[in-house]
Structure 1
Amino acid sequence: MKVSVLDQSPILSGMTPYEALQQTTELAKWTDKLGFHRFWVSEHHSTKSLAGSAPEILVAHLAAHTDTIRVGTGGILLPHYSSYKVAEAFRVLETLHPGRIDLGIGRAPGGMPNVNLALNEGSHPNVEAYPRQVKELMEYLHGHDPHTMDVYATPTGETAPPIWMLGSSGTSARLAADFGTAYSFAHFINGYGGTRAMQRYFDHFEGSIQQKTPKGNVSVFTICAETDEEAEYLASSLDLAILKIEQGASRNGFPTPEEARSYPYSLFEKERIRENRHRMVVGSPSKVKMELEALAEGYGVDEIIVNTIVHPFEARLKSYELIAEAFNLKP
């Protein structure tokens, strides 16, 4: 089974966005050496807790600082942008790093509602146009001229980065199937319904200029430590961070485990934490390996994408190292 990485460049409590991006760079180099398959970075706007607002720029930086790991976006929020411009940006990336670039796309706003207005000159993006944008994007990436205007995405080349449609619902699964893209389900966002969505993708997949057979993976919050007890301790900070996101509370960075352990949780908040654990895998290497393999089997995929947010950063590096050892990954 392939094991990959999703990193959201979390800004840990007491740290700066500069440090968060430096940590993402160090993590990319570390997981490249450990033998992980791909490394994706996300797009979030107007937030004080995640530093990755321009993943296409970060991909260029990370690809230049790694050797063999695939590098991509998880993902570009296509309704905000021109399909043609996105295609050209990724044709440049593919030309610089042929065979190593992934183009993950989504249609979420990437932040609070006003982000939509800021990114679209005061208007809301036309999400109804998303299917058309996907079709145009694929054609531009593969050297076609979808509107017969003698316009091509340059630089042209013999290879093209694959499109991965990202989603947390059956709707995105069906779109990926209809357009013949790869499909990635965000289990770390929605812990329910993912297996049905993935099955819908496999059942309805139609081949395209990109690929002839379906290809899927699933991403999940994962925290691994030497013992179950240590992993639970580290996971407490993510528990509190997700709880605060759900409550709409403003926060500056991800809390430390000490801050999480001293927080006065209500009975309702404790129940929400238990519910949110459906989006996580937490434990020792043997426990994590068993649960990740079971998750992949349930989804019918051969790749898991691990998203680890813990405090301090050294524990994040260690978590990926333990996972690599558990799965016997090879550089």
Structure 2
Amino acid sequence: MVKLSVLDQSPILHGSNPQQALQQTTELAKWTDKLGYHRFWVSEHHSTDSLAGSAPEILAAHLAAHTQQIRIGTGGVLLPHYSPYKVAETFRVLESLYPGRIDLGVGRAPGGMPNVNLALNGGKMPNVEDYPGQIEELMAYLHGQDPHGMDLYATPKGEKSPPIWMLGSSGTSARLAADLGASYSFAHFINGRGGFRAMERYRDYFSPSMQQSEPGGNVSVFVVCAETDEHAEFLASSLDLALLKIEQGEKRYEFPTPEEAIQYPYSSFERERVEDNRNRMVVGSPQKAKEELIQLADLYQVDEMIINTIVSPFEERLKSYELLAEVFSMKELD
């Protein structure tokens, strides 16, 4: 059976503000925990007006304190900006507070416009060529090792370590995760074409590491689920418009509503872009969404799909996750 998890980017919906977006992330985590979702990841974005999540490690600590069973993690910490030693200690603290429930997802994207790189790195550009070495160093510190022979260890020490998940949307990231022996999460919601080949490459080249002996993968995708296909299409129209405006570089302070999207005068080229972006999405009634998610899981040969739902109003986001939980028979509500 396919497990379902959550990726939440703390979107600022129409009529709300960043504080409310973070409150909604908390409510969504509590709700999906109750529904039986497997894990809940939060993202890292900087200087982005429509997304409120800029410090996922802090948000993860908050969410773990407000949930009971669901795994909590980052999707992910943008490692080129940070010290592997400090990241290891942060997640060793989280693992000590919430043993067996913490995931450390990492990526190498800038997390915003190019000026974000400068702001996070003392006015210098980070060297992404160091990223593979950073992963190796991070894994060593997490597992109680002293990678540079400096009599230096990540504390607090413990018997277990949170697993590293490397995030990516290309074959390059897949091969790197394979070479380093980490789990791999493919961002289908970013790149809707050819991802199954990246996952296949990851499995083919996987090398066992101190973290794990077998490959482990999952896939994240935009999903909009509603009682009927027609209502799901109505809700998804707002995500269609949001993705289009992101591509066009338009600065927005909140995500559009379906009503705004319906009224938008799309050009023929824009309609083509909307159609192409639908490759990154699953939209429909519960049964239709279930069938398409299982098809994607089979295509990627994974047993876990991470759901990213951004629609307005917030109640429709909650309902979408509930409908998926019901159709996948995850857990009976109290």
Do they superpose with TM above 0.5? yes
Q: CA deviation at 1:264?
A: 1.0
| Matching of residues 182-261 of structure 1 within 5 Å | 182-261=183-262
- Whether 1:315 and 2:316 are equivalent positions in the alignment is yes
Cα distance in 1 for partners of 2:159, 2:327 equals 37
| Letter in structure 2 aligned against 1:300 | Q
Deviations 1:139-162 (A, max 9, x none): 000000000000100000011000
Aligned counterpart, 2:272:
271
Structure 2 unaligned residues grouped into runs of 5+:
none
Aligned counterpart, 1:150:
151
Aligned counterpart, 2:119:
118
Q: CA deviation at 1:118?
A: 0.4
Contact 2:178-2:207 within 8 A present in 1 as well: yes
Cα distance in 2 for partners of 1:252, 1:74 equals 22
Q: CA deviation at 1:41?
A: 0.2
Aligned counterpart, 1:11:
12
Cα distance in 1 for partners of 2:165, 2:3 equals 16
Deviations 1:233-259 (A, max 9, x none): 000100000000000001111011001
Q: CA deviation at 1:330?
A: 2.3
| Secondary structure in structure 2 of the residue aligned to 1:304 | strand
Aligned counterpart, 1:127:
128
Cα distance in 2 for partners of 1:280, 1:305 equals 12
| Letter in structure 2 aligned against 1:57 | I
Aligned counterpart, 1:38:
39
Cα distance in 2 for partners of 1:158, 1:63 equals 20
Aligned counterpart, 2:82:
81
Deviations 1:50-78 (A, max 9, x none): 00000000000000000000000000000
Cα distance in 2 for partners of 1:265, 1:156 equals 56
Aligned counterpart, 1:27:
28
Cα distance in 2 for partners of 1:328, 1:223 equals 18
| Letter in structure 2 aligned against 1:193 | G
Deviations 1:112-164 (A, max 9, x none): 01000000011100100000000000000000000000010000001100000
Q: CA deviation at 1:299?
A: 0.1
Cα distance in 2 for partners of 1:206, 1:264 equals 51
CA RMSD in angstroms, aligned pairs only: 0.6
| Secondary structure in structure 1 of the residue aligned to 2:222 | strand
Cα distance in 1 for partners of 2:141, 2:235 equals 44
| Secondary structure in structure 2 of the residue aligned to 1:226 | coil
Aligned counterpart, 2:72:
71
| Secondary structure in structure 2 of the residue aligned to 1:249 | coil
Aligned counterpart, 1:179:
180
Aligned counterpart, 1:327:
328
Q: CA deviation at 1:321?
A: 0.1
Deviations 1:82-123 (A, max 9, x none): 000000000000000000000000000000010000000111
Cα distance in 1 for partners of 2:46, 2:95 equals 25
Q: CA deviation at 1:193?
A: 1.6
Structure 1 unaligned residues grouped into runs of 5+:
none
Aligned counterpart, 2:283:
282
Q: What stretches of structure 1 move > 4 A for 4+ residues in a row?
A: none
Aligned counterpart, 1:61:
62
Cα distance in 2 for partners of 1:54, 1:192 equals 29
| Letter in structure 2 aligned against 1:236 | S
Contact 2:14-2:313 within 8 A present in 1 as well: no
Count of equivalent residues: 331
| Letter in structure 2 aligned against 1:28 | A
Cα distance in 2 for partners of 1:100, 1:210 equals 16
| Secondary structure in structure 1 of the residue aligned to 2:59 | helix
| Letter in structure 2 aligned against 1:189 | I
Q: CA deviation at 1:22?
A: 0.3
Q: CA deviation at 1:5?
A: 0.3
Cα distance in 1 for partners of 2:261, 2:121 equals 37
Q: CA deviation at 1:298?
A: 0.1
Aligned counterpart, 2:50:
49
Aligned counterpart, 2:296:
295
| Secondary structure in structure 1 of the residue aligned to 2:215 | coil
- Percent identity reads 76
| Secondary structure in structure 2 of the residue aligned to 1:72 | strand
Aligned counterpart, 2:165:
164
Deviations 1:252-289 (A, max 9, x none): 11011001111111111011000000000000000000
Cα distance in 2 for partners of 1:192, 1:134 equals 27
| Letter in structure 2 aligned against 1:14 | G
Q: CA deviation at 1:14?
A: 1.6
Cα distance in 1 for partners of 2:257, 2:223 equals 17
Cα distance in 2 for partners of 1:250, 1:69 equals 34
